[in-house]
Chain A
Amino acid sequence: MLIRIQGGRVVDPTAGRDAVGDVWVEDGRIVAPPSDRKPDQTLDAAGCVVMAGGVEVHSHIAGGNVVTSRLLLPELYVSEAAPEGHPFAHAGGAAGWIGATYARMGYTTAVEPAMPPVHALATQLELADIPLLDRGALTVLGNDDHLLQILRDGEGRAAVRDLVALNVATSRGLGVKCINAGGASAFKDGALKLSLDDEIPCYGLSTRKIMGALLDAVEEIGVPHPLHVHCNNLGLPGADDSLVATLDAAEGRRIHFAHAQFYAYGVSDPENPMTGGFRSAARRIVDAMMTNPQASLDIGQVVFGQTVTVSLDILRQFGGRKGAKPKKWVLNAGDAEGGGVVPFLYRPKGPTSSLQWAIGLEIMLLSGDPERTILTTDHPNGGPFTQYPRIIHLLMDKEARDREIATLPGIVKERSEIATIEREYTFSEIAQLTRSGPAKLLGLDDRGHLRAGGRADIAIYRDDPDRTAMFTAAKFVLKDGHVIVEDGQVVDWRAGRSLALTVESDRAMERRTETYLQDRYGQGLDSFAVPEAAFATDKPVFEDVACRT
């Protein structure tokens, strides 16, 4: 079927396109305008902005911690009566709701950034139940005893590469992440704090060594997405030093920094570094990114209100447990990373939360390269992803920003530059921040743009000066060339696919790992597998993504 999306303002920064025109779609792909054929269907996009479907790189939408957060704080989301066609689309926080809410916002791909290999099957089953979107997950490594043993014993790059490849292949990951590498292991052995070069007890390793080995492994395997790094010391004054030191430790290798806002905290009072609070280090972080074109970050923007933080960084979650609001928390010291679930309130107009809010926006507004500055709230850690439209609004509208800043405490102006920044994001820059940037970062060439040959994942928004309204409920959303959203409502409950890398694993490492696992769990690789048969459907669940050669 040939579809013509007619007369919209077509915004595709990857093609330098921002003008009224048409986009043509056939068989799930974007095609060049045909010279002599009439469309089977025309979608009227007059008065609308047409962009590629949004791509999410870091949102906690599946996995054990997310499940625990629902059990710990079931009242966080409000459920409404179900709409036609899906019994759980309005069940707040559920998979159906996640898919529907993203799709209504014009997002068509979402990645869960923290899949522990020991629980890959559960995470993948949950992801597969998110309708409408393509989804994927990053395989988390950096705290598992098997890897740390290999590093401790100095077995060299090939062994690390083979173990990483085996883990990605078995868990069907789309990339590799390390979360406070060595931190969970150190926590179990009594540590309360960890910096880049501190010794990990029992292994004689450091975060620098573990992360460096993973950086190399990712390059050697040819994982399209660079190593996704959650640094040490998240949320502490002086965390900017951790991020910059980690960037230096990457020594020019590709690296992605997760939720950088939570590290853009410079020590405010050098005399009292831990008690004097923090000030914005947004400019320092942005400058570091500008001099390192091989690096990228996502924001982790804070929004005001109640949330629940979920993280495999058990060291940090343990440290933050007493700030829980309401006063309860779950710490799971898992087989490798484990995780922590700590409810948290970003107090509206509170001095700390206001400064955090300002710093996230500041990083985006100071950035010289929005494609490497990706919009996330680290859902739900900085706040829910449902706040993206409001954040986009603030980026595009200086007046709206000023009005919000005027309601916040003076510390915002004293300790950040936010109030002095005149910049207003253009549609093209928003598309870089939410489409082309994240797609390039994940190495998914088929999306994030509107060029011929691209996947027909397309969002069509009514151009409304109220950008919050505009980006909350698209006029049309297409997934693989099918209209899934019309006038902000889901009209076709399709299933997307789970994107997984095709990685060859080494037979010798398989045998060796089998022995290791049998010894530790009394069960082998089989019990960790993610086979198609587990999904009990005759439809394909996964879509292969090739490694770089």
Chain B
Amino acid sequence: MAAWVKGGATDADAAVMAAARLLSSAHAPVFAGLNAEVAAIRAAYDLAGRIGASVDTAGGDATYADLGALARVGAMQAPPAEVAGRADAVLVVGEAPLKSPLVERLRGTKPVRGRAAGAERSIHHLRSNQDLAVQIAHLRAHARGHMTSDAGMAETARAMASALYGAVLYDPGELGTLGIEMLQGLAMDLNESTRCFALSVSDGTQDRAALQVAAWTTGQATRVGFGRRVPEQDPWRFDADRQARAGEADAALWLASLPTPRPTWLKTLPTVALVGADAAPDLAEVVIRVGEPGRETGGVLWNEGRAGLSYRAPEQGADLPTAADIIARIAAAVAGRGAVAGRSAVANSEDA
């Protein structure tokens, strides 16, 4: 196993002890990234709950763009295989979704299930040359018959309204909460007379896996803090970048067993980094190389094509610890230090 403390190579035990020391002596530790397999995400929430850390994810801004709209109006949505199998009209909003392999697939196929089966599929595009939220508002007004001024908009609105099964693809990070709210409103309007569903294209992080784990583990979404011993969700307060910039955080755990763009604050805060193949001695104060899920170790990951979780067996055998193992060892070391008195029992124990 490769591990480094302050740039010097060391063994697993020493790195785990250093990590436990670093995290348990902090007043306001932040756990960030969480671009990892479900077991590691789960272990991270558990440790955060025990030491009073706050948690954020690599795709937090996009995730909360969707959640912001969800909290206000809800959603009307469908998964990718349903859109590919049923949609006779697709509206792509903005530029980011064009990078999704789904758009390619939609262009090359026809609906095969349901009442639109066999029909041609029309694909429409709303360009982001103006504010997308404003454009969707205009489109919605055209769909409702409140506006007729823009011929292109009117044409798109007509196409979606006359479709048997419409779908609207968007990227939450690009569109933002207000735009998503407007887009969901459009889908809801269209369902008064036909079927139309929104589809949020993921940014490639494990945020959607983390969102599920967070919800069943804490009852809340991903950005939660445990400083007051109850999970408190606050998308602004527990934004890890903001906390680091504002000097509120005094230590961090960076969890990225999958390749992830690194935040700029990684070297400015005392940090424990659990990372995959891109591990390097000077990445953070404590660096532990962990297996990359689905490649070097097994793990449950977000499956974009199915919009759900799937187990991925390792492609090759690798003698590397999983991130979940390392976090569990850090947790045990933290408990052993008695850093948080009376909170040392291990949940889900099954003694004989």
What is A's interface to B at a CB cutoff of 8 Å? 62, 64, 66-67, 70-72, 74, 77, 79-82, 84-88, 90-97, 118-119, 121-122, 125-126, 129, 131, 145, 185, 187-190, 201-202, 318, 324, 328-335, 338, 341, 492-495, 520-523, 526-531, 533-536, 539
Please give me the residue from chain A that is nearest to B314 by CB atom: A533
Tell me whether B49 and A88 are in contact (CB under 8 A): yes
Q: Which listed residue (B115, B191, B322) contacts A202, Cβ 8 A?
A: B115
Tell me whether A334 and B230 are in contact (CB under 8 A): no
**Interface status of B319 (Cβ within 8 A of chain A):** no
Instruction: Return the CB mask of B298-321 against A: 1 if under 8 Å, else 0.
Output: 111001011011110100000000
Q: Which listed residue (A95, A329, A520) contacts B216, Cβ 8 A?
A: A95
**Interface status of B237 (Cβ within 8 A of chain A):** no
Residues on A with beta carbons closer than 8 Å to the beta carbon of B78: 332-334, 338
Residues on A with beta carbons closer than 8 Å to the beta carbon of B233: 74
Tell me whether B74 and A330 are in contact (CB under 8 A): yes
Residues on A with beta carbons closer than 8 Å to the beta carbon of B50: 87
Tell me whether A62 and B345 are in contact (CB under 8 A): no
Cα of A331 to Cα of B308 in the assembled complex, Å: 16
Instruction: Return the CB mask of B319-352 against A: 1 if under 8 Å, else 0.
Output: 0001010000000000000000011011111110
**Interface status of B195 (Cβ within 8 A of chain A):** yes
Tell me whether A539 and B350 are in contact (CB under 8 A): yes
**Interface status of B217 (Cβ within 8 A of chain A):** yes
Residues of B in contact, count (CB < 8 Å):
69
Please give me the residue from chain A that is nearest to B85 by CB atom: A520
Residues on A with beta carbons closer than 8 Å to the beta carbon of B218: 88, 91, 94
Tell me whether B77 and A330 are in contact (CB under 8 A): yes
**Interface status of B82 (Cβ within 8 A of chain A):** yes
Given contacts A84-B345, A201-B115, A202-B114, whether A70 and B219 have CB atoms under 8 Å apart is yes
Q: Which one of A328, A329, A529 has the highest number of Cβ atoms from chain B below 10 Å of its Cβ? A: A328
Residues on A with beta carbons closer than 8 Å to the beta carbon of B114: 185, 188-189, 201-202
**Interface status of B228 (Cβ within 8 A of chain A):** yes
List 18 additional contacts besides A187-B195, A330-B77; criterion CB under 8 Å: A62-B216, A64-B212, A84-B345, A88-B219, A88-B231, A91-B220, A91-B231, A95-B216, A121-B311, A189-B114, A328-B70, A332-B75, A332-B77, A333-B77, A493-B348, A494-B350, A523-B305, A536-B37
Instruction: Return the CB mask of B1-41 against A: 1 if under 8 Å, else 0.
Output: 00000000000000000000000000000000000011100
Taking the closest CB of chain B, its distance from the CB of A353, in whole angstroms, is 22
Please give me the residue from chain B that is nearest to A122 by CB atom: B309
Taking the closest CB of chain B, its distance from the CB of A300, in whole angstroms, is 23
Return 16 A-B CB contacts under 8 Å, by A number: A62-B216, A74-B219, A84-B343, A86-B347, A121-B308, A121-B311, A122-B308, A125-B309, A126-B212, A129-B348, A145-B113, A318-B191, A324-B74, A328-B74, A523-B306, A527-B310
Cα of A332 to Cα of B299 in the assembled complex, Å: 26
Tell me whether A118 and B308 are in contact (CB under 8 A): yes
Tell me whether A87 and B46 are in contact (CB under 8 A): yes
**Interface status of B211 (Cβ within 8 A of chain A):** yes
Cα of A476 to Cα of B322 in the assembled complex, Å: 39
Please give me the residue from chain A that is nearest to B165 by CB atom: A188
Tell me whether B305 and A522 are in contact (CB under 8 A): yes
Tell me whether B77 and A331 are in contact (CB under 8 A): yes
Cα of A327 to Cα of B22 in the assembled complex, Å: 46
- B50-81 residues at the A interface, CB under 8 angstroms: 50, 67, 70-79, 81
**Interface status of B240 (Cβ within 8 A of chain A):** no
Cα of A468 to Cα of B237 in the assembled complex, Å: 40
Q: Which listed residue (A77, A492, A534) contacts B311, Cβ 8 A?
A: A534
Residues on A with beta carbons closer than 8 Å to the beta carbon of B195: 187-190, 333
Residues on A with beta carbons closer than 8 Å to the beta carbon of B303: 523, 527
Q: Which listed residue (B216, B221, B229, B350) contacts A82, Cβ 8 A?
A: B229
Residues on A with beta carbons closer than 8 Å to the beta carbon of B194: 190
Please give me the residue from chain A that is nearest to B113 by CB atom: A145
Taking the closest CB of chain B, its distance from the CB of A188, in whole angstroms, is 6
Residues on B with beta carbons closer than 8 Å to the beta carbon of A521: 81, 305-306
**Interface status of B86 (Cβ within 8 A of chain A):** yes
Residues on A with beta carbons closer than 8 Å to the beta carbon of B79: 332, 334-335
Tell me whether A335 and B229 are in contact (CB under 8 A): no
Cα of A44 to Cα of B293 in the assembled complex, Å: 51
Q: Which one of A91, A95, A121, A333 has the highest number of Cβ atoms from chain B below 10 Å of its Cβ? A: A333
